[in-house]
């Protein structure tokens, strides 16, 4: 948890868990409802590094932090043991919720998996070259790291997923080790309450334990509510595990096994019908799109299932490494074509990041902006994936490029050589495609400052006024989050019209549920926050009508929100609209223009 220590400090300084009735957040601050306001140490909170200010009024105790409050709030809710209503609202799609849970549970243990894979690769080199014998105790000891990683996978999942699913962590671990015990794991002829249990191997599998943890969370929540406090410490854990274990053995174990086998049959069918080459080709070509949509980790359960069923993966493991190398190649092509030092530095940096197996900087920093690199990866990655698929390259561990030796198998080096060839094809194909598909001249001109008379003719973007009214410096806004410039540079407007409009063309990336704040991001990456009124979040959306929704594309001057400012004033709220560039630090300068509504704020790129 990135903000765990910060959250613990905040909770302690507001008087502890028992003093907190509720905590919500708006765009910039945490709002606590406290039982006893006197227990909160406002001065100590103000002294914290990430805190801008503390505001205490009759409605709530507010801690002004900044735009990262959206990341801090869920962790504080978790530390408090409160349910996040926002999470419930935003994850209504059951399929997406399941995929998110699986992905978030697996992500923390990926470093351990990759370490095991790298060790397997090194051992493969040593055994094939005769440095170490597979029968030697040295080999057995180090190979135990790989076998232990996957055999005890349910325990790793119990640690990473318990809190996410509402299950007590140590009870989750107890459930996992019980399933892996020699008296249950893979044992035939077991009976429970006179009912025959199917023979299930729980090692190497993650679905039964995930289902069991979910059920344990539900049981624990129910028992905690019903159990008297005086008996809770001893009997709630006891009842939780006694109920969860039999249900897991009778229902979730078989269901998880059926799902696992089903996935294996699906990909076996694809492989038998079309050939695994098709899956490798498509995934190697299209992985950047999945990363862009936040679905990059959806293949991890599929890979683990292939390892568990077949002992290898001939589709996704080669595919994702080939795709990463193709992304690197596309950026190298752009690097070779770039005409100035700034471009070369950028494309060189993201190319190196992709080479190391981290492609997000390239995808979000270059691919989305210039679009044509997607085509370069489709070409390079597709060719490399096609070759790997035709040669039936098999992956034995989840590794990055530096674990490529794990492709050496018992048959020798042929699988390894074919993988190297596939990477070379993907890289060279993407380099050539990236070089030839270089950005159009219009985009190149925007990305390249012209040199005139020894000075740089800097690119700039103008923001129009979001609402008719009287402009004021940001420093005069009666809210320290804005007046101090902590949230970025910008300007204030005392509105004289009820319609809030887009100051710039772009995408609505944030629309707060109470409609009092909206964020827009344009194609240059400029992030604009419009905050309508001071403390107007307390109106819970009353008198605010959203005319757009999150994800909408808007043009400058398009209507965003309609506000009945007269009624907002009647209720005693300041109606000043703040417009700030929240990523001010990314640009050379942000200049407010007090008298020009068509160039109210200028961002110099």
Strands (DSSP E) contained in 435-558 are: 450-452, 455-457, 460-463, 469-472, 490-495, 499-501, 506-511, 517-521, 527-532, 544-546, 553-554
Q: Within 10 Å of residue 190's Cβ, how many Cβ atoms?
A: 14
Contact in structure between 340 and 449 (CB atoms under 8 Å): yes
Catalytic residue from among 14, 20, 26, 493: 26
597: closest CA among 461, 470, 460?
470
Mark out the alpha helices in 129-228 (DSSP H runs): 137-151, 153-161, 169-180, 207-226
Mark out the alpha helices in 14-109 (DSSP H runs): 42-46, 69-80, 85-90, 94-106
Backbone phi, then psi, for 516, in 5-degree steps? -90, -5
CA distance 129 to 122: 11
Active site residue 286: no
402: closest CA among 46, 90, 119?
119
CA distance 78 to 395: 38
For Cα atoms 298, 93, 74, give the angle at the middle one, nearest 5 degrees.
80
> Residue 77 burial (CB < 10 Å; 0-12/13-18/19+)?
buried
Alpha carbons within 13 A on the beta-carbon side of 388: 37
DSSP reduced 3-state for 165 = coil
CA distance 380 to 452: 38
Termini Cα distance of the chain: 34
Active site residues: 26
């Amino acid at each position: 948890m990135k903000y765990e220590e910060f959250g613990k400090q905040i909770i302690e300084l507001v008087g502890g868990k028992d003093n907190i009735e509720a905590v919500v957040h708006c765009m910039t601050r945490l709002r606590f409802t406290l039982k006893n306001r006197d227990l909160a140490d406002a001065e100590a909170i103000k002294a914290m590094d990430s805190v801008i200010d503390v505001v205490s009024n009759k409605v709530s105790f507010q801690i002004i932090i900044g735009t990262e409050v959206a990341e801090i709030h869920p962790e504080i809710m978790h530390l408090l043991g409160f349910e996040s209503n926002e999470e419930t609202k935003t994850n209504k799609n059951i399929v997406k919720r399941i995929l998110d849970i699986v992905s978030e549970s697996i992500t923390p243990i990926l470093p351990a998996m990759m370490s095991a894979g790298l060790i397997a690769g090194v051992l493969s080199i040593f055994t094939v070259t005769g440095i170490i014998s597979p029968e030697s105790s040295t080999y057995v000891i180090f190979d135990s790291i790989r076998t232990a990683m996957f055999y005890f996978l349910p325990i790793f999942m119990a640690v990473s997923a318990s809190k996410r699913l509402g299950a007590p962590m140590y009870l989750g671990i107890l459930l996992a080790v019980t399933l892996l015990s020699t008296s249950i794991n893979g044992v035939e002829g077991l009976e429970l309450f006179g009912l025959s249990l199917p023979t299930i191997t729980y090692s190497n599998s993650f679905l039964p334990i995930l289902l069991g943890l979910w059920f344990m969370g539900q049981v624990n929540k129910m028992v905690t509510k019903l159990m008297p406090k005086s008996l809770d410490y001893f009997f709630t854990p006891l009842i939780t595990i006694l109920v969860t274990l039999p249900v897991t053995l009778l229902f979730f174990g078989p269901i998880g096994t059926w799902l696992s086998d089903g996935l294996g049959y699906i990909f076996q069918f694809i492989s038998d019908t079309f050939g695994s080459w098709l899956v490798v080709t498509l995934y190697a070509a299209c992985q950047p799109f999945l990363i862009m949509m936040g679905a990059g980790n959806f293949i991890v359960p599929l890979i683990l299932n292939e390892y568990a069923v077949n002992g290898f993966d001939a589709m996704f493991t080669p595919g994702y490494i080939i795709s990463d190398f193709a992304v690197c190649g596309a950026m190298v092509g752009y690097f070779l074509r770039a005409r100035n030092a700034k471009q070369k530095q950028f494309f060189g940096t993201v190319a190196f990041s992709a080479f190391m197996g981290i492609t997000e900087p390239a995808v979000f920093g270059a691919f989305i902006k210039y679009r044509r690199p997607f085509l370069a990866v489709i070409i390079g990655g597709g060719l490399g994936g096609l070759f790997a698929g035709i040669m039936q390259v098999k992956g034995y561990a989840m590794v990055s490029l530096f674990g490529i030796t794990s492709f050496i198998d018992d048959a020798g080096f042929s699988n390894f050589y074919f993988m190297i060839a596939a990477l070379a094809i993907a890289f060279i194909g993407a380099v050539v495609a990236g070089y030839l598909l270089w950005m159009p001249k219009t985009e190149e001109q925007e990305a390249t400052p012209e040199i005139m008379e020894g000075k740089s003719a800097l690119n700039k973007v103008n923001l129009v006024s979001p609402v008719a009214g009287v402009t004021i410096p940001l420093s005069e806004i009666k809210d320290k989050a804005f007046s101090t410039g902590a949230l970025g540079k910008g300007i204030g407007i005392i509105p004289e019209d009820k319609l809030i409009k887009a100051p710039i063309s772009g995408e609505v990336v944030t629309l707060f549920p109470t409609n009092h704040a909206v964020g827009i991001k344009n194609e240059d990456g400029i992030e604009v926050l419009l905050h309508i009124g001071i403390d107007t979040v307390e109106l819970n959306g009353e008198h605010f009508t959203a005319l757009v929704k999150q994800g909408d594309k808007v043009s400058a001057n398009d209507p965003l929100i309609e506000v009945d400012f007269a009624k907002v004033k009647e209720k005693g709220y300041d109606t000043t609209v703040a417009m700030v560039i929240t990523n001010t630090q990314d640009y050379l300068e942000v200049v407010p223009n007090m008298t020009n509504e068509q160039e109210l704020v200028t961002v110099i790129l």
